[in-house]
Amino acid sequence: MGINFGALFSPLVCGFLAEEYFATKINGVIHYGFKYGFLAAAIGMIIGQLIFNLFGNRYLGDIGKKPTGAPAKTNKEEVKAKKPLTKQEKQNVAVIFILTCFVIFFWAGFEQAGSSLTLYTDKFVDKSIGGWTMPTSWFQSINPFFIIVLAPILSKIWTKLANSKRGDLPSPAKMGLGMILLGLGFAVLIPAVLQTGSDEHHIVEKANLLFIIFTYFLHTVGELCLSPVGLSMVSKLAPVRLASVLMGVWLAGTGVAQLLAGQLAAFTQSLGYLEIFSLISGVTIGLGLILLLFTKKLVRMMN
């Protein structure tokens, strides 16, 4: 949650500087002051580094200076590390790879927030509140805001389920639910796109900003169902000797998703927003349902 406090305020600051305070209109063309947004980001990072250097020793002490855990391996431990993986360990590794393939599609859709969703918001969403127009950049603060509000609530729900007779939902089920919620978020935008069209030069009617807010709400709940659960699952399932490698594989899946996300966003210009948003919605909901369908099988593999 701590990271998201910064993520909440940074778009507000940079968006205000670029789109409000330093924006100028010359001959009917708006010139945004994004260089001042970059300057604000640089100043923020410098301040953060200064705080770390000045107060790190006082409040952190020796944390992180020396490795923690067991000392160097003994000969017996080295022999054990060279042994082949057990059947259960192989199954655990297989589950991690299977779920990594699924989450690639989740993040490819989720990361539209920084590209196609922002472009759609800028051109096709009515951002006016009263007589004031909300900067497009500020919509990037919706996700961290919802995370700060919803993370404690969802954590309590998972804890309550875990303490109930029925027990907590398995990790694959939570992740499948997260994918479905992402797909539903894009489904919310379908009537909005039908209303506005995909041609910014011939907009029939701009969409209400509640469409995009509700989309980000569903995406955030989906993220909370999938992201922390996935990281925890990899930590628990990965054999100790492969823990770092498999965590790298999990994060590499996110990298592949970023490449796919960029390609999908580019296609909105040729195919249109309706087609791309519908595609992402259908694929992620379908994959989420498949993940729910095979949850029991995956749980048996996880033992």
According to DSSP, the β-strands at 207-208 and 125-126 are parallel
- Domain residue extents for the chain: 1-68, 81-302
- Predicted pLDDT of residue 77: 55
pTM, two decimals, is: 0.89
As to burial, measured by CB atoms within 10 angstroms (0-12 exposed, 13-18 middle, 19+ buried), residue 156 is: exposed
Measured distance CA(117)–CA(120) in Å, rounded: 5
**Mean pLDDT, range 223-227, rounded to an integer:** 95
Q: Each residue of 3-35: pLDDT tens digit?
A: 888 899 999 999 999 988 888 888 888 888 999
- Predicted pLDDT of residue 132: 85
| Of the candidate ranges 22-36, 39-53, 56-70, 95-109, the one whose mean pLDDT is the lowest | 56-70
- Predicted pLDDT of residue 143: 96
Most confident range, picked from 51-55, 69-73, 160-164, 252-256: 252-256
Helix residue ranges per DSSP H, 83-133:
87-110, 116-124
| Burial call 185-211: b when 16+ CB within 10 Å, e when fewer | bbbbbeebbeebbbeeeeeeeebebeb
User: Is 63's pLDDT higher than 90?
Assistant: no
**Mean pLDDT, range 91-109, rounded to an integer:** 95
User: Is 267's pLDDT higher than 70?
Assistant: yes
Q: 81-302, what's its fold?
A: Growth Hormone; Chain: A; (1.20.1250)
User: Is 60's pLDDT higher than 60?
Assistant: yes
- Predicted pLDDT of residue 68: 64
- Predicted pLDDT of residue 187: 98
- Predicted pLDDT of residue 206: 92
